A = this chain, B = another copy of it.
Amino acid sequence: MSPRTLHLNAFLMGVGHHEAAWRHPRTDPALITDVRHYRRLAEIAERGRLDSVFFADGLALQGDVRHNALGTPEPLTLLAALAAVTEHIGLIATVSTTYNEPFHVARKFASLDHISGGRAGWNIVTSAGEAEAHNFGIERPAHAARYQRATEFLDVVTKLWDSWEDDAVLRDRNGGRYADSGKIHAIRHAGDHFGVTGPLNISRSPQGHPLLVQAGSSQDGIEFAARHAEAVFTAQQTLEDGQEFYADLKGRLARYGRRPEQVVVLPGISPIIGSTEREALRLEKELEDLIIPAYGLAQLSQMTGIHLGEDDLDGPLPDVGVETEGAQSRRRLVVELARREGLTVRQLLGRLAGGRGHRVVAGTPEQIADQIQLWFENGAADGFNIMPPILPDGLADFVDHVVPELQVRGLFRTEYTGRTLRENYGLDRPASRFAATSGERHDLVVAS
């Protein structure tokens, strides 16, 4: 096996990423709130030695529920359930910094990291949706304001994760000393958005910091990722775009004192797999035939701010700008895709239905593996964010047919080598920032 190996994350969404997945005879939409479904998915991912599973999230009913199986469980709750029935797979939950408090978020991820034995990851989002703001009594904050808050939020969370040094817990039963309070630190954070005294009310977790993941592709988002993220999910349609994003992100790391190997870049790919190319294309066609245009139009509107009606379906995409605050990066991707390939609106909806702007590849396991290898070996990816069109079958097909092909090519592990998510991603465990100061040993946190 080559020294550099792929990382694979299973991006799980209801009964599949294709927006018509719930209508396909190979899925059962009654499973979207059933923990046994997600357990099965996690077990399949673990059987394939994947690094992690991941759930996206939003804080409102987004999209048109008349025409899609929406309403999946809250990710942290679901991943905690999966932690109890899996052993190796990493567990990455999306949580917003805009509508949460850092104390809660630090504590929940530390709890999940303890419960899972070091397998927790946090996909940090700032929640661009207007409907989300209206579930929290405010108007949607501006893009820059959301990222300013996110930056301070992350500062507080990581301080809280560091607030117990690794060796703070003594468990000296005879001496009656449970912990060394000189190694448990108030953080006394007082910033623009948050005031948090600390310490956290749980000991330092197995990974020190649960893995930090980010997916924003706006300029603020990429800069945030360069500064903080350890794994990056990204939507890239072409190898050239993938290479450009990869080089851009890795090139920004030095200014934060970070090395290229400290961030794992994972473009999304929705693999439509058949034992022959014809079979794969048939599945793709079956899904396409189940698309409901009204749903696609609502998705397009929510994702890009481009509002169109059924009358527009058979014309070209109207001339819309790409410089919209907020959903900017996805809007540009969609507009460029339509222009590059001269798509009608209906055709564009078909292209987006599979992965909401992520790349869709239909083919045999070998063809899918070729694409993965091409990007991996040509500076566009450290691994992939796998988005099966239908679940569980699409994930099982990937694990049972594409993964073995990648293993044969020496590109992917055949057994788990690490114990934690961090170790599987090849990332270091951070030290507590407070560890150096503990020589002072003043009792910071004894309750009065």
Contact = CB atoms under 8 A, between A and B. Distances in A.
Interface in A155-192: 164, 169, 171, 173-174, 176-181, 184
A41 interface: no
Residue in A60, A77, A443, A445 with the greatest tally of chain B CB atoms within 10 Å: A77
Contacts of A202: 33, 71-74
Interface in A345-392: none
B179 A66 contact: yes
A197 B135 contact: yes
Contact of A115 (B35, B99, B103, B292): B35
A135 B179 contact: no
Contacts of A174: 23
A128 B33 CA distance: 35
A301 B80 CA distance: 35
B176 A59 contact: no
A226 interface: no
A83 B115 CA distance: 13
Interface string A68-79: 111111101110
A30 interface: yes
Contacts of A61: 184, 199-201, 445, 447
Nearest to A99: B101
A128 to B, nearest CB: 14
B196 A135 contact: yes
Contact of A201 (B70, B136, B198): B70
A83 B203 contact: no
Contacts of A60: 197, 201
Interface string A45-89: 000000000000011111111111111111011101111110000
Interface string A116-138: 10000000000000010011111
A136 B103 contact: yes
Contacts of A85: 84-85
Interface string A231-251: 000000000000000000000
B171 A71 contact: no
A39 B174 CA distance: 28
Contacts of A227: none
A436 interface: no
Nearest to A66: B181
A332 to B, nearest CB: 22
13 contacts: A23-B174, A29-B178, A30-B171, A33-B114, A62-B201, A70-B179, A77-B111, A84-B84, A99-B103, A131-B197, A137-B194, A137-B195, A137-B196
Please give me the 9 A-B residue pairs with the lowest Cβ-Cβ distance, nearest first.
Answer: A137-B195, A80-B80, A73-B111, A81-B84, A134-B197, A33-B114, A77-B111, A74-B111, A61-B201
